[in-house]
Amino acid sequence: MDMKNYSRHEDGISYLVEKYLGELGPKSYSFEDLQSFTSNFSLSNKIGSGGYGEVYKGQFPNGMQVAVKVLSTKDVVEETFMAEVSTMGNAYHRNLIKLYGYCFDHKLKALVYEYTENGSLDKILYENYLRSSIKWEKLYDIAIQTAKGLVYLHDGWDEQIIHHDIKAGNVLLDRHLSPKITDFGLAKIMKRELNDITLSRTRGTQGYNAPKTWMPASRVTYKCDVYSFGMMLFEVLGKRNNGVGENWFLEQV
């Protein structure tokens, strides 16, 4: 494909994606908007990074704090981007992260979320200052509230959402340590009349994902999320990572 045709092809995809996303609730932001929110993606505002890209703390003009998740260009595909926006554009629950908007620009693909002061559950379990001081009653409460968010995804509306990547790193905690399930890039929406769906590719994180999800073309149900939630509970109880190799929980069992 020559550059002229490639550019035309890319513009066509961008138009279709924007048209689709425009029918949903989250607001569309420009690259310049996000530059303004994050002080031009200042390193001092960087609060996280991973295989997905980087997260920056930002602020709306009205003073409300947000988290801007900049997606790694090489990993962004329209299916993943739209899965996250379309899922979060329709789902509302106190234990799900709020998606305020998105940027689908040729310079940048990003998602704008509510800001959670205490970061992710895995950091609290293994790394930061709250590890030794957090009480078992609060960890129990975090587990119960996370389960309520998961029940909402599975049973709370007309269609069923399978998250496919439930883990401690995808549970964020606000200033009251209330959990918010996040990262819906692997999520699939399933019609109620279906008993299961076929995986197009391997989904989830090693140490959390159910054995059925290790192979593409497997048929899975929402129970793969329940399995992952169970693995997360073992981490909460032991305050340690399930790990891989000799530390992998399933291998030990």
Secondary structure (DSSP) of the chain:
--HHHHHHHHHHHHHHHHHHHHTSSSEE--HHHHHHHTTTT-GGGEEEEETTEEEEEEE-TTS-EEEEEEEPGGG--HHHHHHHHHHHHH---TTB--EEEEEE-SS-EEEEEE--TT-BHHHHHHTSTHHHH--HHHHHHHHHHHHHHHHHHHHSSSSEEE-S--SGGGEEE-TT--EEE---TT-EEE-TT-S-EE-SS--S-TTTS-GGGGSTT-EE-THHHHHHHHHHHHHHHHTS---SGGG-HHHH-
What is the reported pTM?
A: 0.82
What is the spatial distance between Cα 166 and Cα 205, in angstroms, rounded to a whole number? Answer: 8
Q: Which residues contact 19 (CB under 8 A, 6 or more apart)?
A: none
Average pLDDT over residues 13-37: 71
* 199's tokens: 């995986």
pLDDT tens sequence across 68-92: 999 876 655 666 777 778 777 778 8
Question: What single letter denotes the amino acid at residue 106?
Answer: H
Query: pLDDT band at 6, cuts 50/70/90?
Result: very low
What is the spatial distance between Cα 73 and Cα 227, in angstroms, rounded to a whole number? Answer: 31
Closest Cα partner for 58 from 48, 69, 68? 68
What is the spatial distance between Cα 134 and Cα 125, in angstroms, rounded to a whole number? Answer: 9
Average pLDDT over residues 230-253: 76
Delimit the domains of the chain by residue range: 3-114, 121-252
Q: Which residues are catalytic?
A: 165
* CATH ID of 121-252, from 3.30.70.100, 1.10.510.10, 1.20.1300.10, 1.10.3260.10: 1.10.510.10
**Does the annotation flag 212 for ligand binding?**
no
Give the Cα-Cα-Cα angle 170, 54, 104 (nearest 5 degrees).
95
**What is the topology classification, in CATH, of domain 3-114?**
Phosphorylase Kinase; domain 1 (3.30.200)
Average pLDDT over residues 183-190: 82
